[in-house]
Amino acid sequence: MPKLSTNQWLAVVALLLGALAVVGEPYAGTRTSLDARELAMIVEGRADHVTAPELADWIMQGQTDYRLIDIREDTAYARYHIPGAENVPIHELTEYPLFRNERIVLYSGGGIHAAQAWFLLKAMGFPGVYTVLGGFDAWIDEVLYPAAPSATTPESMAEFERAEAVAAFFGGSPRGAGEEGELQELALPSVDLTSPVIVAPRKKRRKEGC
Amino acid sequence: MIAPFFKYGLFGDEASLILAFLVGIGFGFFLERAGFGSARKLTAQFYLTDLTVFKVMFTAIITALLGIFYLSWIGWVDLSLVYVPNTYLAPQILGGLLLGFGFIVGGYCPGTSVVGTATGRFDGFIFLLGLMAGIFAFGEAYPLLEGFVNSTDLGPITLPEALHVSYGLVVFAVVAMAVVGFWGAGIVERKFAAKSVNDRIPNAEA
Amino acid sequence: MAATVATEAMKAGAAARHEAGTGPAPYMNPYLAGVGLGLVLLATFVLMGRGLGASGAFTSVVAVGVEAAAPEHARANEFYVGYLENGFGHPFKSFLVFEVLGLMVGGFLSGALAGRNRRTVEKGPRISTRGRLGLAFLGGGLMGVGSKLARGCTSGQALSGGAVLSVGSWAFMLMVFAGAYALAYFVRRQWL
């Protein structure tokens, strides 16, 4: 071993590492493997779903531990979106700033595109991705304009009362039996401005800069 | 699961704050070890009598650079999750110039002024007050400056992307330039040592 | 408990130097210190996916101060709001704030161990203390504006951004050195 000073050793090591780097492939870690079997089990166990009423509860309780992503077109988003949703079309999803330690809830019109986006995010290594079961349509039908129950048991009446209250919170109203829930053109449910959660859009990405 | 661990939810926000504190201790420790609690040692860089600032900064950069590169190569770090700041070229150039002015006039930079204050330098403390005054002035003027501050946004662009060469090649180039620079720094220091401005505490023998 | 650790450290350092008959200990080999710093930076990247910083912590302080003095004004200003609403709850619950607290502790500890802690004002022989303090404040002010324009300072942009090869960070770094060298001659009376 040649007799080198500390500084000279450091220089040699640095130059060797630097030279070796020329053939290096630093993006090796960005490719994650898709475990097909694991994904199949998740889908089958319905662990990746959130129902529209559940989501409504989260919003009403002011929960902020999730990101709600609306992957529809911006015109549809502008017309009405679930409160707190961020509009990210699928092609922007890969670049959009999302953290892998966040729960991501996706919804589309009916649910098919959301399911596809679900696979995309799973492939990118996001552990906590969910879709809204039934998508935006389910929000209209089950949250905004819930149908009156056909039966009149105490349980279903209590449930319906709850659904009414939820609908009122979001500016909707129940519909009679047999009616189709339709997003009213004129009476667009306005976002409830008294709830602090809904007012402050949870788009605040944590600062990572200096 | 691979690093960066925080981005996989391995630990939460509260733990990250504790980590920040610990990291800060290490940071402050080595800054002082290098002598950066002393404004005179810091500014000696710009009178060419003591180029410790250059040596420490670039050694730190190439250490972290090589570390990230190799850890990513062996797949332990997901490079796409490592934060690269957005490049806003014009404000960064102007900001850098002002920072350079502030450095030689004030004698510190924000991090080192904290170390200076912690080791008893009253001028470090006054520098911090000035720093916050400057930030306040910026904040008040922000509505006017906003356009400029957000201009020339090139996104999180890296040197390999901008120069259209491989990442590894840039790593090599940076390391090589740094080592050559260190060699040159020794020569320059010996030439200008007589007019030394620093606080006369020597560096440990190499 | 922290105070006892600190005083013990100072006493140990002083005792060692009393033995050796020397004053404050020499600084660490700059390359070794740089490696140490680089490893701390690397650890931050590996654990958090982000680098270090400093100026952001002080911006949080300023933002909180402005909000306390004039809440509507602060809330109307996008710049302050960015630091008040950091997604964490309180603006002081930020990575950088806690990091800066650690900076103080680490710096103090190292200085204590080496016997380099002392109440002083760093300046050259040809300027008064008052003059030096005035320039320190002015320099800080310049740096305050500069670091916000550049979205970082030497710790955040130069070290951390430099290590991930960000174009803007390298441009910034060059300009910092350029600016300091350019002005060095004109303020030489402060240091030389």
pLDDT tens readout for residues A165-207: 888 888 787 776 555 556 554 344 555 434 333 333 333 445 5
Lowest mean pLDDT among A78-92, A106-120, A184-198, B51-65: A184-198
Please report residues of C whose CB lies closer than 8 A to that of B173.
Answer: none
Round to whole Å and give the CA distance between A10 and B127: 35
Better-scored residue on pLDDT, B112 or A193: B112
User: Which positions 127-156 of A are in contact with C (Cβ < 8 Å)?
Assistant: none
Number of residues that this document lists for chain A:
210
Please report residues of C whose CB lies closer than 8 A to that of B195.
Answer: 192
Please report residues of A whose CB lies closer than 8 A to that of C88.
Answer: 206
- What chains are in contact with B, requiring at least 3 Cβ pairs below 8 Å? A, C
How does residue A31 score in pLDDT terms, banded at 50, 70 and 90? low
How does residue B101 score in pLDDT terms, banded at 50, 70 and 90? very high
Last residue of a domain, one of C86, C118, C150: C118
Determine the pLDDT at residue A148: 78
Identify the H or E element spanning B88.
Answer: strand B87-88
Round to whole Å and give the CA distance between C31 and B30: 11
Last residue of a domain, one of C118, C149, C171: C118
Residue C186 and residue C95 in one domain: no
Please report residues of B whose CB lies closer than 8 A to that of C2.
Answer: none
Last residue of a domain, one of C92, C118, C144: C118
Q: What angle do CA C71, A208, A126 make, to 5 degrees?
A: 120
Q: What residues have CB less than 8 Å from B17, skipping those under 6 apart?
A: C93, C95, C98
B148-171 burial code (b ≥16 CB/10 A, e <16): ebeeeeeebbbbbbeeeebbbbbb
Chain C residue with minimal CA distance to B5? C47
Determine the pLDDT at residue A25: 75
Round to whole Å and give the CA distance between B179 and B63: 12
DSSP annotation of B54 reads: H
Nearest CB among A7, A10, A210 relative to C53 is that of A210
* pLDDT beyond 80 at B21: yes
Write out the residue range of the structural domain in which residue C8 sits: 1-118
| C127 in contact with chain B, both atoms CB, cutoff 8 A | no
Query: How far C161 CA sits from the closest chain B CA (Å)?
Result: 6
User: Which positions 28-67 of C are in contact with A (Cβ < 8 Å)?
Assistant: 29, 31-32, 35, 49-50, 53-56
- Please judge whether A210 and C50 are an interchain contact, meaning their C-beta atoms are less than 8 angstroms apart: no
Nearest CB among B94, B106, B201 relative to C136 is that of B106
Residue pair C47/B3 in contact (Cβ under 8 Å)? The answer is yes
Chains A, C: CB contacts within 8 A come to 42
Query: How far C60 CA sits from the closest chain B CA (Å)?
Result: 10
Residues forming a β-bridge with A103: A66
Please report residues of B whose CB lies closer than 8 A to that of C43.
Answer: 23, 26
DSSP one-letter string for B94-160 = HHHHHHHHHHHHHS--HHHHHHHHHTTBHHHHHHHHHHHHHHHHHHHHHHHHHHHHT-SEEES-BHH
**C65-101: pLDDT as tens digits:** 998 999 888 888 888 888 887 766 788 888 999 999 9
Nearest partner of B167 among B85, B68, B81, judged by Cα: B68
Angle between helix C129-149 and B110-118 (nearest 10)? 140
Please report residues of C whose CB lies closer than 8 A to that of B182.
Answer: 31
Q: Provide, rounded to the nearest whole percent, the portion of chain A with pLDDT above 90.
A: 10
DSSP one-letter string for C50-72 = S---SHHHHHHHHHHHHHHH-HH
Nearest partner of B149 among B78, B99, B92, judged by Cα: B92
Please report residues of C whose CB lies closer than 8 A to that of A205.
Answer: 87
pTM assigned to the model: 0.75
Average pLDDT over residues A3-14: 86
| A46 in contact with chain C, both atoms CB, cutoff 8 A | no
Residue pair C29/B203 in contact (Cβ under 8 Å)? The answer is yes
* pLDDT beyond 90 at B206: no
Nearest CB among C48, C153, C178 relative to B110 is that of C153
Determine the pLDDT at residue A98: 77
Query: How far B138 CA sits from the closest chain C CA (Å)?
Result: 6
Residue C21 and residue C98 in one domain: yes
Nearest CB among A206, A209, A210 relative to C87 is that of A206
Residue pair A99/A66 in contact (Cβ under 8 Å)? The answer is no
Nearest CB among A7, A205, A209 relative to C156 is that of A209
Round to whole Å and give the CA distance between C49 and A210: 13
Determine the pLDDT at residue A193: 39
Residue C95 and residue C150 in one domain: no
Query: How far C87 CA sits from the closest chain A CA (Å)?
Result: 6
| A6 in contact with chain C, both atoms CB, cutoff 8 A | yes
**A93-133: pLDDT as tens digits:** 877 877 766 788 999 988 888 888 988 888 777 878 899 98
Show me where the domains of chain B are located.
Answer: 5-195
Q: Determine which of C35, C48, C78, C192 to mutate to test the interface with B (most B C-beta atoms within 10 Å).
A: C48
The tally of domains found in chain C comes to 2
Domains of chain A: 46-196 (3.40.250.10)
Lowest mean pLDDT among B13-22, B174-183, C99-108: B13-22
Residue pair B20/C102 in contact (Cβ under 8 Å)? The answer is yes
Give Rg (Cα) of chain B.
19
Residues forming a β-bridge with B155: B87
Residue C101 and residue C135 in one domain: no
Please report residues of C whose CB lies closer than 8 A to that of A204.
Answer: 85-87
DSSP annotation of B198 reads: S
Round to whole Å and give the CA distance between C84 and A109: 35
Average pLDDT over residues B29-55: 93
